[in-house]
Structure 1
Amino acid sequence: MAYFPFFVDIEGQDCLIVGGGNVAYRKVLVLADYGVRIRVVAPELEEELTELEKRFREEGRGDFLTLICRKFEDRDLEGADFVVAATEDEVLNHRISALCRESKTPVNVVDVQAECSFIFPALVRDGDITVGISTGGSSPTIAQYLKRRFREAIPEGFGELTAELGSYRELVKEQVDDISVRTELFRAMVDEGIARGCRLSREEAQEMIRRRLER
């Protein structure tokens, strides 16, 4: 099966994770950075999850992680935008997958590709830069290898440079009408920013625009 790599805004969405072990904990850690409201349902919860919930409350993010210590019930699926089945019970995982598919709710059953309607990629993130790597479930080891290589390939501070250049886009659009010249300028800014140690101030960007317009 070929998986198409959608990049979706999931901030504020409701995610249900069924299972309270280490796998569920890792999924919570991945999703928490994206502003997802997460419910975890399991009869037993790892200590790491309860500690994480406590930390969220202390940080004023208590609404983003809810732990429910009981067995899964079908009604738990109500209101979920997407679901992760991370239990050790294959029968339960299959049932959750079937219920989600019936209601057309995206579902991921950990380590069982055939039961998934979406899968988690190996992620590399640096600020606004996100790289998602997948082998379609064929070889998670290769996905992790590529993740390490991508992480090594991204220069230190590249995420910050990306944010800086993003803030200059309107500056360029306001002063440069020609799209081809804009493209040339953005490429030049990337090269200049990398040469300056992944830094390019607004004044330096403005000077580059001025020089280009004087040609």
Structure 2
Amino acid sequence: MTTAASNELFPVFLQLNQLHTLLVGGSHVALEKLTALLGNSPYASVTVVAKQISEGVRTFTKDFPGVRLYERAFDEHDLDNVDLVVVASNNPALNNRIRQACRRRHLLLNVADKPELCDFYLGSVVKKGNLKLGISTNGKSPTIAKRIKELLNDALPEEIDETLTYMSQLRDLLKGDFTDKVKQLNAHTASLIASKEDA
């Protein structure tokens, strides 16, 4: 049973390189969204539509072949063949228009700084090689999420990726059914953590 104050978000990790994302907006807020999207998935397919596209957006995206820029007003046909929509606009009428169009098409939407219009949030992400941790404050405080990200970045050792590779190789070598493998992997993980604590 949940309370009114609980965080009911369901965390997922999307393979953006297999999806088509539409970003509406070309300002510094759009640049923040692009930095998050492409920083996590450099081969993502992203179409940017905005009446004005800043030089910062143009400069940042020039090294990403999957990004297309269109300097013009949004049209509902921009939603054709799109999987995900991100809006970085301070135009309430446009935001609501896109929200309604996304609902009709069953497209998931994120609107910058408008939690009430969002189907999903772009949370802070901690990255250490193959390890990614998503942090959400349920839209309450992105600033706290960033602070927690900094703490975890400092706390997690750089060698964690080597440990992940080792565990992956070990999993492939283990014999037995699923339950046996889980028990063996748990035992190895416990010993690895203990050795880190003793170091």
Show CA shifts across 1:31-87 (max 9, x none): 12323200000111111221233223xxxxx2x110111111110011110000101
Which residue type is aligned with residue 9 of structure 1?
A: Q
Instruction: Give runs of aligned pairs for residues 1-215 of structure 1, distance below 5 A.
Output: 2-32=8-38, 33-34=40-41, 35-56=43-64, 62=65, 64-173=66-175, 178-179=180-181, 180-189=183-192, 191-192=194-195, 194=196
Relative to 1, partners in 2 of residues 1:182 and 1:107: Cα closer, same or farther, differing over 3 Å? closer
Relative to 1, partners in 2 of residues 1:94 and 1:47: Cα closer, same or farther, differing over 3 Å? same
Instruction: Output the TM-score relative to the length of structure 2.
Output: 0.84
Unmatched 5+ residue regions in structure 2?
A: 1-6
- For the residue of structure 2 that corresponds to 1:11, the secondary structure is helix
Which residue type is aligned with residue 183 of structure 1?
A: N
Higher CA-based Rg: 1
Cα distance in 2, alignment partners of residues 51 and 181 from structure 1 = 49
- For the residue of structure 2 that corresponds to 1:68, the secondary structure is strand
Identity of aligned residues (%): 31
Instruction: Output the TM-score relative to the length of structure 1.
Output: 0.78
Cα distance in 1, alignment partners of residues 128 and 134 from structure 2 = 12
Unmatched 5+ residue regions in structure 1?
A: 57-61, 198-215
Show CA shifts across 1:108-159 (max 9, x none): 0100000011111111111111111111111222212211221121112223
- What is the alpha-carbon root mean square deviation over aligned residues? 2.4
